[in-house]
A and B are shown apart, each in its own frame.
Chain A
Amino acid sequence: MPWFRKDLISTEELSPEEIQTVFKTTAAFKKILGRKTAKTPPLRGKTVVNLFFENSTRTRVAFEMAATKLSADVMSLDMKTSSTSKGETLRDTVENIHALAADMIVIRHSAPGSAAYISKVLDIPVLNAGDGAHEHPTQALLDCFTLHEKFGSLKGLKIAILGDILYSRVARSNLWAMTKLGAEVTLVGPATLVPREFEQFGVTVSHDLKSALADKDAVMLLRIQHERQNASAFPSINEYTRMFGLNKTRLSWLKENAVIMHPGPINRGVEIDSELADSPQSVILGQVTNGLATRMACLYLCSGGKAETLTG
């Protein structure tokens, strides 16, 4: 199925067919990445601007590398020190960058809806690299691609997402993508971070780790950020780890060959025991590699590239 979108703002808006198009394109790029010279020409002569209003070295580097591999000129702007602190609005900032001949914008911002807002202001492609607690679509697409590679399909897969769901864009993007692809999703964590409202999106909400992990094909852990907005959502990190941290015993509650996922960066010893993060069941590093190919696919498709014309 062809891709008609200028922007990639959310997985909520994607159809299952569009997600499959991303997978197909990602697979092709992954093959290309395996070659000796992994650079391909689709974005030659184009400028991709990474606008990061929030620190995220991982995501920024992944997008930079993806754009470079597609032969684009890449500019990354750490917006912490400019515009907003000078009182400039987001609209002014992006209109200026557009006027400097950016061809695509990748944006990370702490405010939900900011990527959608920019996509309406500008007529060039906008890719959402995380808008507050709303969505992080490329992360979900790479997560699902990883599962797709591993299991052949997400249909009927049982997946638990464990941790800070309320403030997580990764959880939101994943629950839309996973359920669209036919997976059964259970959200699990303390009641203060996993509100019941999520049930209305077609997922199960649980606060009981044992029953939530039972029989699952995959568990996705989310980073716990106790220092931030959820400061009072649970009593202490220690308490969280005791109640919800993944350890060997709890791993055994999952299906035998279940995979462990984490979008990173990991708090070793907090949401997961260190040895499990490096165990054969962990696909955490595989996610990173797939992240590069997925972002190449998303940049390529939004710039007007066709999945069919790629030869891997």
Chain B
Amino acid sequence: MSQVTWIKGGRVIDPKIERDEISDIFISNGKIIDRPSRETLAKADTIDATGLVASPGLVDLHVHFRVPGETHKETIFSGTSSAATGGFTSVVCMPNTSPPADTAGTIQYIKDAVGRESIVHVFPTACITVGSEGERLAPTGSLRDAGAVAISDGGKCLQNSGLMRRAVEYANMFNMPVIDHCEDYSLSANGVMNEGLVSTKLGLRGNPAEAEDIMVSRDVILSAKTGAHIHIQHVSSRNAIDIIRRAKSRGVNISAEATPHHMCFSELEVSDFNTNFKMNPPLRSEEDRLAILEGLEDGTIDCIASGHAPHTDYEKDVEFDYAPNGVIGLETALGATLNQLYHSKRLDLPRTLSLLTYQPAQILNLNKGTLEIGADADVTLFDPECEWTPQSNSFQSKSSNSPWINRTLKGKVIQTFVSGKLVFDKGKILSS
């Protein structure tokens, strides 16, 4: 047997198999293995995980790595370094790149870049329509053959419901989930924040929750009709969650994610025009925020996704109207989630981690998010009690457009293993 890594004495939590015990993890040849013989263990690399949680590597279904085209914001290396720092070992990247990922060639380009630079597992998605322009279907089957795990118009929403119906029917033939950013443009118009109390006060144009609710309803109806799986991104409104809850109770094949920023912040954060709180869907009311937490508690929302959307300082350092939407989130997602769900005593630690591990993995049928024997040895060691305060210069991401700057998080990643290899160790990225 080759070299064994022995992660010793941590609180091992694997929500998929309901494992939660102070125990050991053994890694060999990039896989989780059973306890090896005494002689093998005597020669093992040991890592003392006392006081730490050993979790399956975290899985994020929604990140933007800006490759190809906008490497001033992020690259595969900086993006996956950011992922590893945040404890994520598998990420799904959105296709709204430049050019958009609507051909097999572009998917191959991304996979090549991943092969060269990535330090975590990266799964690309491809466009639903050509150029994400909402007019013609992209070649879904070829995109799947090239390696796309799902289709999405990433950041855009297909407004033509007839075409959306064809898209989900067609993709379902290949077992390809359709990932949707739900927004009715005729309602959201040019809104730059939630329509409500704060937009009324500030004179900023509002994007009402109904723009989201209507498209979520549409997707529920189309999923019910076709049986196709539609995954709803970054749910932000109380009504949308309610619509999903009722759809699920009828057995509709729909899943949903929430982001840490929509869980933690409301529209009130926009009151001083800080562009690190500008995103789409916008931060909504406190009532909506609480509904997200309830949706996570009762299982209506299946998982947490960072929505990691890097933009440079100079792009965000402008008038609120002109700033791009989106915030980074890979490095703060675990701390923020622990704050809102675990430290607040809404959920226990295993259930909290299920939202960041096997539940997202299951949505896209990724064989990830577990510490079962034989699984890829993707492991995250974190200290759930460690408090830290992100600063603008503390990110591995190329960008620092984070709403958590100067806010305290409780929970910090100590080490991240990808396929058995230590890639992040106490603040440092090891691989290149």
Contact of B202 among A91, A110, A134, A229 (CB under 8 A): A134
* B319 and A114 contacting across the interface, CB-CB below 8 Å: yes
Contact of A91 among B203, B272, B318 (CB under 8 A): B318
Say yes or no: is A227 at the interface (Cβ < 8 Å to chain B): no
* B273 and A89 contacting across the interface, CB-CB below 8 Å: no
**A/B interface sample: 9 pairs, CB < 8 A:** A12-B201, A89-B317, A91-B317, A113-B202, A113-B272, A134-B204, A197-B200, A200-B197, A229-B205
B200 to chain A, nearest CB (A): 4
Note all chain A residues with C-beta closer than 8 A to B318.
Answer: 89-91
Across the interface, name the chain B residue whose C-beta is closest to A201: B201
* A132 and B200 contacting across the interface, CB-CB below 8 Å: no
Note all chain B residues with C-beta closer than 8 A to A116.
Answer: 272-273
A112-B203, A113-B202, A135-B203 known; 4 new pairs, CB 8 Å cut-off, are: A112-B321, A113-B319, A132-B321, A201-B201
* B202 and A112 contacting across the interface, CB-CB below 8 Å: yes
Note all chain A residues with C-beta closer than 8 A to B317.
Answer: 89, 91
Residue of A12, A111, A201 ringed by the most chain B CB atoms within 10 A:
A111
Residue of A113, A114, A198, A201 ringed by the most chain B CB atoms within 10 A:
A113
* B320 and A111 contacting across the interface, CB-CB below 8 Å: yes
Contact of A169 among B203, B272, B321 (CB under 8 A): B203
Interface size of A as a range:
20 to 34
Say yes or no: is B227 at the interface (Cβ < 8 Å to chain A): no
Note all chain A residues with C-beta closer than 8 A to B321.
Answer: 110-112, 132
Across the interface, name the chain B residue whose C-beta is closest to A111: B319
Contact of B319 among A109, A167, A172 (CB under 8 A): A109
Note all chain A residues with C-beta closer than 8 A to B319.
Answer: 90, 109, 111, 113-114, 117
Task: Give bound CA distance, A91 to B322, whole Å.
Answer: 13
Say yes or no: is B196 at the interface (Cβ < 8 Å to chain A): yes
User: Which 8 A-B pairs give the minimum distances between C-beta atoms?
Assistant: A133-B203, A113-B273, A111-B319, A134-B203, A197-B200, A111-B321, A112-B203, A114-B319
Note all chain B residues with C-beta closer than 8 A to A269.
Answer: none
Across the interface, name the chain A residue whose C-beta is closest to B319: A111
Task: Give bound CA distance, A260 to B107, whole Å.
Answer: 65
B residues in contact (CB < 8 Å) with A: 196-197, 200-205, 272-273, 314, 317-322
Say yes or no: is A16 at the interface (Cβ < 8 Å to chain B): no
Say yes or no: is A305 at the interface (Cβ < 8 Å to chain B): no
Say yes or no: is A195 at the interface (Cβ < 8 Å to chain B): yes
Note all chain B residues with C-beta closer than 8 A to A12.
Answer: 201
Task: Give bound CA distance, A169 to B204, whole Å.
Answer: 11
Task: Give bound CA distance, A212 to B202, whole Å.
Answer: 25
Task: Give bound CA distance, A172 to B198, whole Å.
Answer: 12
Note all chain A residues with C-beta closer than 8 A to B203.
Answer: 112, 131-135, 167, 169, 172
Across the interface, name the chain B residue whose C-beta is closest to A112: B203
Task: Give bound CA distance, A171 to B234, whole Å.
Answer: 35
Residue of A132, A200, A201 ringed by the most chain B CB atoms within 10 A:
A132
Note all chain B residues with C-beta closer than 8 A to A134.
Answer: 202-204
Note all chain A residues with C-beta closer than 8 A to B320.
Answer: 111-113, 117
* A197 and B272 contacting across the interface, CB-CB below 8 Å: no
**Interface positions of A from 110 to 156, Cβ below 8 Å from B:** 110-114, 116-117, 131-135
Note all chain B residues with C-beta closer than 8 A to A132.
Answer: 203-204, 321
* A197 and B273 contacting across the interface, CB-CB below 8 Å: no
Across the interface, name the chain B residue whose C-beta is closest to A176: B201
A234 to chain B, nearest CB (A): 16
Note all chain A residues with C-beta closer than 8 A to B196.
Answer: 197
Note all chain A residues with C-beta closer than 8 A to B273.
Answer: 112-113, 116-117
Across the interface, name the chain A residue whose C-beta is closest to B270: A113
Task: Give bound CA distance, A195 to B319, whole Å.
Answer: 25
B266 to chain A, nearest CB (A): 15
Across the interface, name the chain A residue whose C-beta is closest to B198: A197
Task: Give bound CA distance, A132 to B205, whole Å.
Answer: 10
* A197 and B197 contacting across the interface, CB-CB below 8 Å: yes
Note all chain B residues with C-beta closer than 8 A to A131.
Answer: 203
Task: Give bound CA distance, A198 to B196, whole Å.
Answer: 10
A132 to chain B, nearest CB (A): 5
Residue of A89, A112, A117, A195 ringed by the most chain B CB atoms within 10 A:
A112
Encode contact with B along A81-124: 1 for CB under 8 Å, 0 otherwise: 00000000111000000000000000001111110110000000
A113 to chain B, nearest CB (A): 3
